[in-house]
Amino acid sequence: MTRTKISRFLLVTLVTAGIGCSEVFTEPFVYGTVEVEIALPDGKGVPGLDLTLYSGTRHLGYATTDSSGSTQFDFVPPGPTGVSVRPDSIFRPAGHPEGYYQTFRMVEGGVIRLAFAFVDIRGVIQVRVENASGTALVAQTVELYNAREALAQAETDVAGEVVFDRLPRGDYGVRVVASPTCDIPPGGAYRDGLVVESGNRFDVVIVLENC
Could you give the residue range(s) of every CATH 2.60.40.10 domain in the chain?
Answer: 32-120
Q: Could you please state the CATH topology (level 3) that the domain comprising 123-208 is classified under.
A: Immunoglobulin-like (2.60.40)
Q: Count of CB atoms within 10 A of residue 201's CB?
A: 12
pLDDT digits (tens, 9 = 90+) for 173-195: 999 999 999 999 888 999 999 99
Mean pLDDT of the region 6-25? 48
Could you give the residue range(s) of every CATH 2.60.40.1120 domain in the chain?
Answer: 123-208
pLDDT digits (tens, 9 = 90+) for 125-138: 999 999 999 999 99
Residue 27's pLDDT is what?
Answer: 67
Task: For residues 7 and 31, give the distance between their C-alpha atoms in angstroms, rounded to a whole number.
Answer: 44
Task: For residues 198 and 123, give the distance between their C-alpha atoms in angstroms, rounded to a whole number.
Answer: 7
CA angle 97, 51, 116 (to 5 degrees): 55
**Sheet holding 111-120: strands in order across?**
70-76, 32-39, 111-120, 91-93
pLDDT digits (tens, 9 = 90+) for 56-100: 999 999 999 999 999 999 999 999 999 999 988 888 898 775 568
User: Among 1.20.1290.10, 2.60.40.10, 3.40.50.1220, 3.20.20.210, what is the CATH number of 32-120?
Assistant: 2.60.40.10
Residue 26's pLDDT is what?
Answer: 62
Residue 204's pLDDT is what?
Answer: 97
